[in-house]
Amino acid sequence: MGAGTGDFLNECLQKNWKAFGVEPSLKAREIAKSKNVVLEKDLASYANQKFDVITLWHVLEHVENLETYIQSLKKLLKKEGTLFVAVPNHKSFDAIYYGKFWAAYDVPRHLWHFSQTSIHKIFKHISIKVVQVIPMKFDSYYVSLLSEKYKKGKTNIFKSFWIGFLSNYRAKKSSEYSSLIYVLKNE
C-alpha cells in the first residue's frame, strides 16, 4: 500500500528487479500506469504470493485496521524476508517542539502515531523482529518547514532549518529522529 505514483517501483524495475505495488488512489495508479508501472488497489491482490522484501514508505500510519494489515504483511513475507517500514516518530524533538502543530500528526490522514517502543511491540506480537533502525535525517527539515507554517501561518525557512537541525542534533543521543526506517525480519 502506498506506492503513490510508482516512482520507487519504477526505479526497482529499471534495475531489472521483480517489483509489485499497491496504491489505493485511482488517480495515483493512473499516473503510475503512464510510467509503465502497474499497481494493484490493495494487498488482497497478492494473497497467494510470498515476497523477499516488502517496503512501506510512510504507509503504516494511514492503514485503517492496523492489526489485520500487519497480519497480512506477515503472510506475504517469506520466512527469510525483510520488511522495511518508514514512519514519523512522535517522540522526536521536532514533534515535541511543535506539539499540536507538528505536521507529521497529519490528522485525519494519519490514523496512527508510532514510537520505537510501539513499533517493536506491534511487530513482536506477530513474531517479526526489528533488527535495525535507520534515521531519516532530512525529514526533520521538511516536517519542521510544514510545522512552522501550521504554527505561525507563514513559512520561516531559517527557523524551520534550525528546529530540524536541533531535532537531528538531539537525536544523536536519544535516537529519536523525526522519521525512522525499521528493518524487520521474521523470528
Which CATH number does 50-186 carry? 3.40.50.150
pLDDT, tens only, 103-133: 999 988 898 999 999 999 999 999 999 999 9
Q: What's the pLDDT at 2?
A: 81
Task: Give the predicted TM-score (pTM) of the model.
Answer: 0.92
On whether the CB atoms of residues 5 and 35 are closer than 8 A, the answer is yes
- The domain spans of the chain are 50-186
The percentage of the chain sitting over the pLDDT mark of 70, rounded to a whole number, equals: 99
State the distance between the two ends of the chain, measured CA to CA, in whole angstroms: 23
Cell reading at 48: 497467494
pLDDT at residue 185, rounded to an integer: 96
DSSP 51-117: EEEEEEES-GGG-SSHHHHHHHHHHHEEEEEEEEEEEEBTTSHHHHHHGGG-GGG-TTT----B-HH
pLDDT at 1 over 80: no
The 3-state DSSP composition of the chain as helix, strand, coil percent (nearest 5) reads 45, 20, 30
What's the chain's average pLDDT? 94
In the prediction, which pLDDT does 187 show? 82
| Antiparallel, parallel or unpaired: β 179-186 and 77-88 | antiparallel
* Position 137 confidence tier, pLDDT thresholds 50, 70, 90: very high
Q: What are the tens digits of pLDDT across the range 53-88?
A: 999 999 999 999 999 999 999 999 999 999 999 999
Residues 17-28: what's their mean pLDDT?
91
- What distance in Å separates the CA atoms of residue 149 and residue 158, rounded to the nearest whole number? 12
What does the block give as the cell for 79? 520466512
